[in-house]
Copies of this chain bind each other. A is one copy, B any other.
Amino acid sequence: MRISELARAAGVPVATVKFYLRDGLVPPGRATSATQATYDDSHLQRLRLVRALVEVGGMPLAKVRVVLDVVDRPPADPYDAVGEALAALPPYVDTAPPYGRATALLDALELAYDENVTAVAQLDAALAGLEAAGRPLDVDAARAYLHQVRLIAEREVASVERGDEREVASVVQDVVLGTVLLEPVILSLRRLVHAALYRERHPRR
């Protein structure tokens, strides 16, 4: 397809596609003349991924590049590949292990985890913030969150085809998109439900 068709298919202005091409975020098309090139489905997939990371994820280009590097040259184990890619996604926390608050909570919740997963550091930072704000999260409240979140995650996993036979790059791309695009859905719904509950209890006079 031509650059204009590629841009339309991904819902991005042509100027933005040109910028991503110049910047190497999207690989060059196959030249058909001195000034024209043709693009295929692999370009469209890449453009959709970049668009989601930049526009919805709000990620800086340096972090986008880290994700693209994993997609292009993934470690052999899909679990490690996904972990590396997710580590480039926000929220960015610059704390070092040990993550005592998070690991103590996860142990109490009996959730198996791997301390290298960035979400452990993110959870630890949030727990430290809650503690510093004078409202530490107790295990019962955390267990209630985990219960609902587990139901969400199990439904999400069930809706995806089994990954055994799939290419690692495609698994990574799916998980990254599912993280960047679905997290704001979950959070914006939570904010909207809070607003609706508030209005029910306190009607505007």
Contact = CB atoms under 8 A, between A and B. Distances in A.
A95 to B, nearest CB: 10
Contacts of A19: none
Contacts of A134: 48
A78 to B, nearest CB: 7
B77 A204 contact: yes
A135 B197 CA distance: 30
A88 interface: no
A145 B191 contact: no
Given A112-B199, A184-B126, A185-B145, A120 B79 contact: no
Interface in A154-192: 154-157, 159, 162-164, 175, 177, 179-192
Interface stretch (A21-29, A30-38, A52-60, A61-69): A52-60
Contact of A149 (B135, B156, B186): B186
A153 B48 contact: no
Contact of A56 (B118, B129, B154): B129
A133 interface: yes
A111 B141 contact: no
Contacts of A133: 48-49, 51-52, 177, 181
A139 to B, nearest CB: 12
B157 A194 contact: yes
Contact of A145 (B128, B189, B196): B189
With most chain B CB atoms within 10 A of its CB, the pick from A122, A142, A187 is: A187
Contacts of A117: 191-192, 195
Interface of A: 10-12, 48-49, 51-52, 55-56, 58, 77-79, 82-83, 86, 90-92, 102, 106, 111-114, 117-120, 122-123, 125-135, 137, 141-142, 144-146, 148-157, 159, 162-164, 175, 177, 179-202, 204
Given A79-B199, A183-B187, 4 more contacts: A58-B91, A126-B188, A175-B194, A186-B186
